[in-house]
Amino acid sequence: MKTSYNLRSIAAKAINQVLDQGLSLSTVIPELQKNISDKDKALLQEICFGVLRTLPQLEWIIQQLMDKPLKGKQRILHYLIMVGLYQLLYTRIPAHAALAETVNGAVALKKPQLKGLINGVLRQFQRQQDILNERFQNSENRFLHPSWLLARIKQAYPEQWMSIVEGNNQKPPMWLRVNQRHHSREEYLTLLENEEISAIADDNHPFAIRLENPCNVNLLPGFADGWVTVQDRSAQRCAELLAPENKEQILDLCAAPGGKTTHILEIAPQAQVLAIDIDEQRLKRVQENLTRLKLNAVVKSGDGRYPEQWCSGMQFDRVLLDAPCSATGVIRRHPDIKWLRRNDDIEQLAQIQKEILHAIWPYLKSGGTLVYATCSILPEENKQQVEAFLASTKDAQCDYQHQCLPEAEGGDGFFYALINKI
């Protein structure tokens, strides 16, 4: 393993790949983590996610401290300065160490001539930190969201928008789903206690446990043996609502990375599950999860809009459609969403959701159940989508729908509709 690397320069490269190349952190981080130590993997993730969580603040500070922005081939140094600012603002790394490592990042990025500039900007921030922070809290950037998204949230939730935004800007809690084929939730809580891992059960979700402090999955008792899965509380609700039963034919559509596929099979191990996703790379994760949990499903690549290409005329008792969406309910887990999404994406995503819903409906048996779910909080993708589908589909009846909003110690933003074929 290489040890001669500068972590801050690697973080700057990751941020550059997200903001300038449009890649997601979940794509970028694993690649960049390959040649760094386990200890530094966590720090790299903390810095990259933190910078993207607080991006408007860091941009605003740089604007106050620099006359001209760094552009072109020097743009990577702009992101390196952000890395330095984030450490000074939000981490416990001693200021002198954060400064030294960030300045040395310029050398690693082959821009040694700019060491002085970076050092100067960061030291100037240290001197003015209190007054700059106070001024920022009175600026329009203080909500740390792009203006188009903030406007949509305010319109949809005129009374709750502030708490939604605050929730989006926090670090997410770590939720576990206990595999009750191995242990009851109470038994697993005891196992965690024996390892001195503090955790709390959720009264409204029978499989859910929240850790007081997130930890490496390898520290969780029996993780490698499938005793437990990392899955947000709100996401766990999907399989609960679906209520799968043994021997049934079940379709998990848009299944990657497989959390819901495996949950279906934990509830009904003898169900015949077909897991479909358009992304072949992400389907590998589905298979990995099935293998770890020693469960079996048919895993196929396919587009939900064209089931005739992969369905072979099958009819399903139950369908779980976790539809492609804006992911505006999971911003706290994926802060890059704020900067990768665009306003006009919402209309395009809603159209895809509509096409998938209508395409898959004929493959649901009469009397069957479809759970439509998204990790979005926007009505266009959720309530309005379901209302339009019901209005145009005579044999569809919605028995339940619910919108979860992100909560600090609770679940992610999620929407569910339970639609029956009559």
Specify the pLDDT at position 3: 56
- Residue 113, Cβ density class (10 Å: 0-12 exposed, 13-18 middle, ≥19 buried): exposed
User: Is 317 annotated as a binding-site member?
Assistant: no
User: Is 368 annotated as a binding-site member?
Assistant: no
Q: Is the pLDDT of residue 414 over 60?
A: yes
The stretch 169-182 carries a mean pLDDT of 96
The mean predicted confidence, pLDDT, of the chain is: 96
pTM: 0.94
User: Is 167 annotated as a binding-site member?
Assistant: no
pLDDT tens digit sequence for 212-230: 999 999 999 999 999 999 9
Closest by CA to 76, choosing from 42, 26, 121, 110, is 110
Specify the pLDDT at position 38: 86
Specify the pLDDT at position 103: 98
Say how far apart CA 328 and CA 377 lie, in whole Å: 6
Q: Any idea which residues carry the catalytic annotation?
A: 375
Q: Return the amino acid letter for 84.
A: G
Q: Is the pLDDT of residue 417 over 70?
A: yes
pLDDT tens digit sequence for 121-130: 999 999 999 9
Q: Is the pLDDT of residue 234 over 60?
A: yes
Say how far apart CA 244 and CA 275 lie, in whole Å: 14
Q: Taking the CA of residue 55 as centre, how many other CA atoms within 13 Å lie in the half-sphere pointing to its CB?
A: 19
The stretch 116-122 carries a mean pLDDT of 97
